[in-house]
Amino acid sequence: MSLLTELVQRVGQDQSARLQARLATPARTTRVTVVIGRVLGAAFLLCFATGLYSHFLQNPLPGMRFPTRPVNLYAITQGVHVITGVACIPLLLAKLWTVYPQLFAFPPFKGLAQLAERLSIAVLVSASLVQLAMGLLNTYQWYPWSPFFAFRDVHYALAWVIIGSVGLHVAVKLPLIVRHWRRGGDGEVR
């Protein structure tokens, strides 16, 4: 059985190395990933803040008070929310493009910590894709999911999942982020 295991590992590693070499480009560096990630993170935070403002305007907690001036404040915050949300779509796709070859790493994880990290990233990416797609469809006022669930409830819940996942992702990747935050990082690929 160990001979078969060794053969599978060797073939998997060879195939993974060949595929990653084919996908390698000078633009797929940790530095590029960090730069796109910090812009995407800022956009997610801005969307989250403006979304919370909208949510609590519509469902205020007891004792909450909101400014009544300027009268178009809600329109401004919703404009920022929609524009930033739409801007998140190409940013998320660009970030996924920079890390795409890592999907083909073999073995897929080396230990429980890396498995937990990859699962948390899967939650972050899937929740983000669903959130952005739902938000974009909402701008067209098209709700194909309306027989199954309410847009506002799911959009609000997914926002919390995404912000929590972003926080976890930043905490796990903090050493890489710090190393590549400014110019002059070594440009290594994750």
Contact between 85 and 135 (Cβ < 8 Å): yes
Residue 115 has pLDDT above 80, yes or no: yes
Confidence of residue 25 (pLDDT cuts 50, 70, 90): confident
**Any domain includes 176:** yes
Q: For the residues of 45-62, what is the DSSP string, one character each?
A: HHHHHHHHHHHHHHSPPT
Cis amide bond preceding 107, omega within 30? yes
Q: Which residues contact 102 (CB under 8 A, 6 or more apart)?
A: 190
- State the pLDDT at residue 109: 80
Residue 91 falls inside a structural domain: yes
- The pLDDT, as a whole number, for residue 22 is 66
In this prediction, residue 184 carries a pLDDT of: 63
CA distances in angstroms from 22 to 16, 26, 142, 188, listed in the order given:
10, 12, 40, 16
Asked whether residue 70 is assigned to any structural domain, the reply reads: yes
pLDDT at 185 over 60: no
Distance in angstroms (rounded) separating the CA atoms of residues 14 and 39: 35
- Residue 107, pLDDT score: 79
Could you tell me where the DSSP H helices lie in the chain? 2-23, 30-58, 73-99, 112-139, 151-180
The 10s digit of each residue's pLDDT in 73-102 is 999 999 999 999 999 999 999 999 998 888
CATH of the domain at 133: 1.20.950
Is the residue at 187 inside a domain?
A: no
- Asked if residue 100 is part of any domain, the answer here is yes
Rounded to the nearest angstrom, the gap between the alpha carbon of residue 89 and the centroid of all alpha carbons in its chain is: 10
- The answer to whether residue 67 sits within a structural domain is yes
Structural domain of residue 71, as residue ranges?
2-180
**Does residue 186 belong to any structural domain of this protein?**
no
pLDDT, tens digit, for every residue of 28-48?
Answer: 788 899 999 999 999 999 999
Give, for 104, the enclosing helix (H) or strand (E): none
What pLDDT shows up at residue 189?
45
> Residue 7 domain-assigned?
yes
Tell me the pLDDT tens digit for each residue of 120-160: 999 999 999 999 999 999 999 999 998 899 999 999 999 99
What's the pLDDT at 113? 84
Which DSSP letter does residue 101 get? G
Among residues 140, 130, 135, which one has the least CA distance to residue 54?
135
Tally the domains of the chain: 1
**Across all residues in the chain, what is the average pLDDT?**
87
CA atoms in the 13 A half-sphere facing the CB of 5: 2
Please determine, for residue 16, whether its predicted confidence score (pLDDT) is greater than 70: no
